Amino acid sequence: MTGCQGELVNEEFYIYIEDEEGNVVLDDVVTSHANGFIDLWLPRDRKYNVMITHEDKVVESQLSTFEGDNTCITTMQFL
């Protein structure tokens, strides 16, 4: 069995997510798991604007939850 390992293990992230209509879906601090990843469960068939902040770094992206969309997103990297 294989798996992925992220670099930021048990770290706190501020996550802000809103849908296309501007409704806030998540506005909270979340701690990454032992594998360095964060699990987010979002309602289906919608588009979202996502902002994740860690220390002095910020990453922003759009995600969607339509059939056929990726369920594991690893492209939002802090550079």
Supply the range of the domain harboring residue 43: 12-64
In a domain, residue 75? The reply is no
Q: Which residue has the tokens 């048990």?
A: 10
Sequential pLDDT tens for the chain (79 residues): 457 777 889 999 999 999 999 999 999 999 999 988 898 899 999 999 999 999 999 999 999 999 999 888 776 666 5
In a domain, residue 78? The reply is no
- How much is the pLDDT for 42? 92
Number of domains into which the chain is organized: 1
In a domain, residue 35? The reply is yes
Dihedral sign, Cα of residue 33, residue 2, residue 59, residue 46: negative
In a domain, residue 53? The reply is yes
